[in-house]
Chains A and B, each alone.
Chain A
């Protein structure tokens, strides 16, 4: 491994632990503490990928989350690979394998690079303009566009990693562990606030932790040493929790924030096994302090995108923090003092600085004077007009700027360099502030958008450079003052710090630096990932796009995985300059979460696979499983659907089950129905108001079917309610409607009818329900409960009895959803499986047949009983269902009554429930199929649709229920059900197909 570019004795890198990794198949080495980016640079590799549109060679540009170019594919297994990982953020581990993206056959020779030659033909909006015509060709275009779209490759297999969630509550959340964040966390925690400090890096301290420069001192020591001591101290504060490798992704209203903690991404594959990869923190903070810092801006000039061109601050971090020289002959290009800090760091590490090119006339600040002492050549009032070097920068060409900065003058100077640091000033990271609803203000002195204190949501502040303080003196003074005010602290240990810094005295900003060539012949990149240039923005403006949001979408500026962290300000600046608008009035694009990409794994946590959704099980579930039931999801319940025997199809099983239930006896697990215990002196009146029919006269021990409407008069739910005592009822609801019905009824009691003495308690899970139906059901019950008198006189249809089975109390209802003589045993769930088994034993000689929901549906359809939600859809009144008999017309009121008499609800031509018979009795209609009167009519008038359809084994013909316009008047009329390959002839009939006289109820 070449040590040429590595500096020894760096405290952030463990040079005793060498790590091997592979990049594009080549085995390389780095050290523990490196990022992939720093390790690549130490191996003299700048070229890491190709740009999206022109496939131009691109290198590592930054050292953080704003990286637009160095995004790589991690892992050598295409089925489990991780795309679009920023090389500047991934920590090096033993065995890491990374690949360049968006290039073929390789990053050094990429066929797609031909796009660069064709670039004059590929302006902004190229796709929009070119592929609009002919319209019929779109699918052909799309094939090629889809293949060239995207950067990384998605994995093909399910993610094998484990992800976790954590809810966290704290008094104060500090986002960002730079110097201001450290100060805030200390002040907060020392003043009895439960404090959480988050930082996305593995080492706290931001950029100050490696700022070892005589110009910047606190209490007589270099800022990095002072901060190191502070960090050591805060780790011992009891109230403070520190989470590193944790990046804040989203800041929602009322201080609800999401952060992603990386737990194993820095470990080798062996060390990761069985551990959680990432954890999503869901944080509720009483107060939030944002100290997210700022990022350096690039400069926009011709060919500013070559590998080897980096942010000046990145070069500084690579040398000071990672101990890596980004080049051997480094040039710096700047419009501010920051690049001079980089120059000092480089000089201290023995790197040769070719020169500094500064667009300002002069600067006399302390740091500049310090650099001048080192005899580094500074080209004042100069700009770069061009760069050379295809896979790595090799030369730059500079010229003097005109006084107004709009042009270049004088002779062109050519300088040899292998790395260019660019510094265009600083952009405060206000993303989180705006995500939370804060509004920005514009500071024209240095062209930055800052949090507007008057438009900041309550209980949060921004401090440090994300609040526009870039000088260490201002940062310390203002952070201390603002945090004290925010947290109501009187005195702090930071009150009397003596801070020395270098004050920047001269600023100059030119959004698009001039070249000696016309703009059309230049390539000044704004968005390095999406290849949008300053001339693309200007073209968009010429074509009429004025809003920043429109320009963004037309040129794709800021739409890459980096979300334009580097490019947005320049795009704004160029638009403002070109249109003569004030940049502050122009505003910014919307900063949306997440701040940096989140994995889908982190979002879903453990709610994958078996935990994707809940599974509710009845007490008899295991019996159903043992008896090979197929299950149906009903809400979250797993309900036995049918019980196939000897390889039966579903149709065959359901036909067998249906016949058995009518000919002998069937047994159904009906435990999922909602059950609400109703008590109170006004219970009867309550039911009167809830259901459409009358309840006051229902005798104790009797059951009644009820229909519940919504306020709009449409059927909402139905079920049987039983009067258990004078003031005691048990209501059943549909399975899916149970929770909603209980909530609605409780809501009515609390808000509309507080005068009623009624109490509701759900007992859905307390009781399991075993339904036994068929002509032999009485025989089964008499075996299971021998003491119960089952005579029709003592125990008639629609009544109930308390009873006991083997010492355990139960309630038996004689009610029927199949039209057969039926009983429902309700018993405490923990005893229910045994009772079910007793029933099965008792029914052995009668061919007792367990049946599932499908047979239940068929049997009830034979009787024309509706299923709420299948035969109704929220638009059906009781009258539409031909159930006018259930409306208590003499009743004073019930929910939905008023709506039943609206002009629309009494229309004759509403869709109404009918029966349908197919002319061919073997033909089974499809549920949802449309019904028409005339064929070949265009547009065809659709009169209704099939809601339920089955082949009835008991009638030996197909039956269906449907809703049809004016259905009540259509009995006997013939219609068509057009299908894809045929038209089915049907006749409208009564809704009751089987045992119209209800003789079987008492059979």
Chain B
């Protein structure tokens, strides 16, 4: 097996704020505007892709985040092995892409997932994100696609003061440095 090497490989605490990279997490991008798509995903994952903007649906194993009217991001709620990732990707690809119901694209290494926890996470985000988190933070499962220090990020509210942040791998080290720098001054 090849060595698995992510970018951040770290976790930090600042008061009650904790920041940590959570990998390996499977991430799959779904796109479709077909009617049967939702039912198929439901059968495959026991979870329906949300149609309401900026929301998500989750079960024990997976979360599906709404990204646009025909685009979703699935990620595994827990760390899973490469073999398990492959099985799921192939299953989805065969049932969606190969049946022309949409597209299934593995983006596992495109995104790096960082978990942010603590009472000051929104103070941290507001330092460089123009997004209004008022509704986001009140509703578990909310999804936001915004900028953090000028970098594209996807945010998923998984609980009170607890969110997962997805950033492109190539930007992740840069953003991690910024997050840690800013967390010092909360």
Contact = CB atoms under 8 A, between A and B. Distances in A.
Bound together: yes
B1 A169 contact: no
Contacts of B182: 164, 606
Interface of B: 1-7, 23-24, 29, 31-32, 70, 82, 86, 97-98, 100, 102-111, 126-132, 134, 149-151, 168-171, 173-174, 177-178, 181-182, 185
A102 B95 CA distance: 78
A831 interface: yes
A326 interface: no
Contact of A282 (B2, B29, B130): B130
B3 A679 contact: no
Contact of B105 (A168, A194, A679, A809): A679
A830 interface: yes
B138 to A, nearest CB: 13
A766 B107 contact: yes
**B4, B103, B127, B130 pick with most chain A CB within 10 angstroms:** B103
Given A606-B181, A616-B174, A679-B97, 6 more contacts: A611-B149, A614-B151, A725-B98, A808-B2, A830-B5, A831-B5
B169 A164 contact: no
B169 A806 contact: no
Contacts of A834: 2-3, 5
Interface stretch (A130-138, A754-762, A974-982): A754-762
Interface of B is mostly: loop
22 contacts: A167-B126, A167-B128, A167-B131, A194-B134, A284-B132, A606-B182, A607-B150, A614-B150, A616-B171, A618-B170, A679-B97, A679-B105, A680-B100, A762-B110, A763-B106, A765-B170, A807-B1, A807-B2, A828-B109, A829-B110, A830-B4, A830-B109
B35 to A, nearest CB: 13
Contact of A614 (B86, B105, B134, B171): B171
A167 B129 contact: yes
B103 A276 contact: no
A616 B7 CA distance: 11
Interface in A677-729: 677, 679-681, 725, 727-728
Contacts of B134: 169, 194
A833 B1 CA distance: 13
Given A611-B178, A763-B105, A616 B170 contact: yes
Interface string A179-218: 0000000000000001000000000000000000000000
Contacts of B1: 806-808
Contacts of A830: 4-6, 23-24, 108-109
Interface string A259-280: 0000000000000000110000
A363 to B, nearest CB: 52
Interface residues of A, number: 53
A171 to B, nearest CB: 10
Listed from nearest, the 6 A-B pairs whose CB atoms lie closest are A679-B103, A759-B103, A766-B110, A759-B31, A616-B170, A169-B132
Given A679-B103, A759-B32, A637 B181 contact: no
B74 to A, nearest CB: 13
Contact of B5 (A194, A617, A764, A833): A833
Query: Max chain B CB contacts within 10 Å: which of A167, A169, A194?
Result: A167
A276 B134 CA distance: 25
Given A276-B185, A679-B105, A761-B31, A166 B126 contact: yes
A828 B130 contact: no
A745 to B, nearest CB: 13
Contacts of A615: 173-174
A385 interface: no
A759 B102 contact: yes
B177 A829 contact: no
Nearest to B106: A766
Interface string A423-459: 0000000000000000000000000000000000000
Nearest to A171: B134
Residue picked from B7, B24, B111, most chain A C-beta under 10 Å:
B7
A610 B177 contact: yes
A765 B105 contact: no
Nearest to A676: B105
Contact of B109 (A276, A727, A805, A829): A829
B183 to A, nearest CB: 12
Nearest to B102: A759
Given A681-B100, A764-B110, A830-B6, A166 B105 contact: no
Contact of A766 (B4, B103, B108, B178): B108
